[in-house]
Structures are given as structure tokens and as C-alpha cells.
Amino acid sequence: MEKALILLRGLPGSGKTTLGNLLSEAARYPLLSVDDYFTDLSGTYAFDFARNHLAYKDCEQRCKACMEQSTAKIFLANTFTIDWEMEPYFKMASAFGYAVFVVTVEKYHDRSNTHEIPQEQIEKMAAKYKVKLY
């Protein structure tokens, strides 16, 4: 079986984590996210912008650890609104022999984002968001 890194990208509230949970086959495969860094064991999310860079590094390190163990599938659910945010994962995947799939998750439901990100901020993120179709 080919090893695969699946990057789930989309705006806040699009359903990245929900889809990741479904695809990870009841946590058979890891689902990683920057949000994990800000979520305690009880499931409470407390974002701290000053520590955001640490959250990104933590997510990269956990992904690398999975690759070092040759985990067959690794799912990563982050916004990835700008291409360079995916670059560290592309480099790791190449180094460890992983195929990379980038899945854009679109919001076709009425639920709001669980992190209460203001609509104005989501619109700024959407303005930067680019999808590479070819």
C-alpha cells in the first residue's frame, strides 16, 4: 500500500475536521491539526495568537513523527489558505516517500465555525485563498 498524506484545506467552519474524522476510519489513521495545540484534554479550545507559530511547529513535528513510523495514511486538517503553509508538508512527504493529496473542503451547510472566528476574518482569509486546479 502506498503511503499517503492527505491535506484537508478550507476556511473555518467548512467541515475539515468533520471530514477528517470520517476519513480517518474511527481514528485508525491520525488526524492532525494546528487546532490540537489549543485544545485541552476536555476538548476546550482556547486560541492564543501569540503561540500560533508554536502550534504550526507542533503540527509539523507530529506529522513527521507519523511519517517516521511509516503510518500508511496521515490526515491534516488546517486552513492552508496560502500555498506556502503546505510547503513543509510537501517537503516531508517527499523525504519520507508519501504521496500527497490536497482536498479542498467547501461549506455547503448552515453550521457556523466552532472556533467563533468573526465573519470579517473569514472573508479576509477567503480573499487570499487560491485553489490550484491544474
Angle at 9 between CA 120 and CA 121, to 5 degrees: 10
Contact between 31 and 20 under an 8 Å Cβ cutoff? The reply is yes
User: Which percentage of the chain shows pLDDT scores above 90?
Assistant: 64
| Predicted confidence band of residue 127 (pLDDT cuts 50, 70, 90) | confident
CA–CA dist 63, 39 (Å, integer): 17
| pLDDT, tens only, 12-33 | 888 999 999 999 998 999 999 9
Reduced to 3 states, what is the DSSP secondary structure of residue 132?
coil
CA–CA dist 88, 115 (Å, integer): 25
Closest CA to 117 of 37, 3, 10: 10
Q: Is the pLDDT of residue 59 over 90?
A: yes
The pLDDT value given to residue 36: 94
Domain architecture of the chain: domains with CATH? 4-128 (3.40.50.300)
Closest CA to 70 of 100, 39, 96: 96
Dihedral sign for Cα 55, 123, 24, 88, please: negative
Closest CA to 112 of 23, 13, 42, 30: 13
C-alpha cell at 31: 488526524
